[in-house]
Amino acid sequence: MRRFATPLREGATPVARPSRFHGVSRLQTFHPAGFVIFGRVVGIRLLKLALDLFDSVPAPGAAAPRKPKKNRPLTPISSGSAAPDSIANEFIGPSVPAAPITSIMTPARFAHPRANRETRLCEALVAYEFKRGKRRTIGMVVGADGLVVSAPRWVPLYEVEAALQEKAGWIVRKLGEARERQQRLAAARIVWQDGATFPFLGESVIVVLDPRHAYTAVGGSLQSAGVEVVLRTDAEAPHLTLAGVPRLTLHIGLPQTATHEQIRDAVQAWLMRQAHRVFTARLNHFAPQLQVQWRKLSLSSAGTRWGSARSDGAIRLNWRLIHFNQSVIDYVVAHELSHLRVMDHSPRFWDTVRSVVPDYATLRGQLRDEALPRWH
């Protein structure tokens, strides 16, 4: 490491000192210019170099040195006072009024196609169908189209509004669930063509147009890996599940040029035949357990009702139940047969259903939540 000695005072005599540098003796000479030089003296060159480095006169052709900026005087700001507008605008720009929250968060809107009144419930705009009739209380029904409110003729509108506000949470929740269900139904829409897929007893079935065969007797042939699948509905086969079948195909005798309507109608006819067979087998299975007797089975195509029962033993079941697995079908069958003993939905009725289908509540939820394809 080099050491720099202080420059000599005027009139001082240079002194030579021995020094060791990597084992070699050298002389440290104090030069009159005030620098310590190792080895030989190069004072003239160092002096010239120092002059070149610290000379303030620019060389010819060199750029002139930049003038230092003068500091802008700052306005003193007292504590507790706001900053001047010029400083605020320089750093953060002009102030902009905040947007109202209603323009940022658009409220949900539910509109019935035949709506004649509108209200706000839980920050949601609800347009509902309002009807008056011969009834004693205010009724509210949330369906696929939206909210329908029925009220007696003598009830004023402010009481109807108060009843809606009291049930606001329930109404908005049910409207949201109905909208989600409609979206699932739209996603489950089937394009009827060769290779279309539809649910059957909880399993997916692929449509195959096979003009080489005419399935006039049964409308089609359900196959798995080229082998026809036969559903047993007798007492030896109480469970009709198809779980575990690797791949199911329904071969129908239509050409490749068949229209969407022709394919849909052929598949629906086959499904309705299967539904009648399966429903009959399940009615015969549960009727002895409930100690009731049913007399007639009819298939319906209702949009929102899965079944009904009359006191004379007539049972109506929606043929689209054949899309669900057997457990859900069993719940609906047991539900309608239980009405032959208890015609209302009292606790005694639900105890009757529970006696043959213990997990009916779970199956009821599946029936409500699962989306089925539309048949139109």
Tens-level pLDDT at each residue, the chain (376 residues): 444 444 444 455 554 454 444 444 444 444 444 444 444 445 556 666 655 555 554 555 555 555 555 555 544 544 444 444 444 444 444 454 554 544 456 788 999 999 999 999 998 999 999 999 989 999 999 988 899 999 999 999 999 999 999 999 999 999 998 888 777 777 767 888 888 889 999 888 999 988 877 655 567 778 776 666 666 555 444 444 454 555 788 888 888 899 999 999 999 999 999 999 999 999 999 999 999 999 999 999 887 789 999 989 999 999 999 999 999 999 999 999 999 999 999 999 999 999 999 999 999 988 887 767 666 5
Summary count for the chain: helices (H), strands (E): 9, 16
Three-state secondary-structure class, residue 247? coil
Q: What is the pLDDT at residue 25?
A: 42
Alpha helix stretches (DSSP H) within the chain: 43-54, 85-92, 101-104, 157-166, 168-187, 260-290, 326-338, 347-356, 360-369
Query: What's the CATH fold of domain 197-369?
Result: Zincin-like (3.30.2010)
Element (H, E) at 26: strand 24-30
How would you classify the pairing of strands 296-300 and 314-318?
Answer: parallel
Tell which residue, 328, 326, 352, 354, has the closest CA to residue 340. 352
Q: Whole-structure pTM over 0.95, yes or no?
A: no
d(CA 191, CA 197): 9
d(CA 136, CA 49): 111
DSSP classification of residue 183: H
Q: Please, what is the end-to-end C-alpha distance for the chain in angstroms?
A: 96
Asked if residues 306 and 327 have their Cβ atoms less than 8 Å apart, the reply is: no
The type of residue at 53 is L
Tell which residue, 260, 253, 245, 249, has the closest CA to residue 205. 249
The type of residue at 299 is L
The full set of domain ranges for the chain reads: 16-48, 107-187, 197-369
d(CA 329, CA 300): 15
DSSP for 190-241, please give it.
---STT-EEEETTEEEEEEE-TTS--TTTS-EEEETTEE-----STT-----
Tell which residue, 287, 304, 306, has the closest CA to residue 352. 287
The Cα-based distances of 240 to 105, 222, 225, 302, 354 in angstroms read 50, 14, 19, 24, 21
Matching residue, tokens 């750093």: 91
Q: What is the pLDDT at residue 21?
A: 43
Asked if residues 107 and 123 have their Cβ atoms less than 8 Å apart, the reply is: yes
Tell which residue, 283, 74, 90, has the closest CA to residue 298. 283
**How many C-beta atoms surround the C-beta of residue 48 within 10 A?**
11
The Cα-based distances of 73 to 13, 70, 76, 84 in angstroms read 54, 9, 9, 14
d(CA 316, CA 326): 17
Q: CA angle 205-210-216, nearest 5°?
A: 90
d(CA 52, CA 72): 35
Question: In the numeric block, which tokens belong to residue 37?
Answer: 């030089």
Q: What is the pLDDT at residue 370?
A: 75
Q: What is the pLDDT at residue 218?
A: 62
Three-state secondary-structure class, residue 27? strand
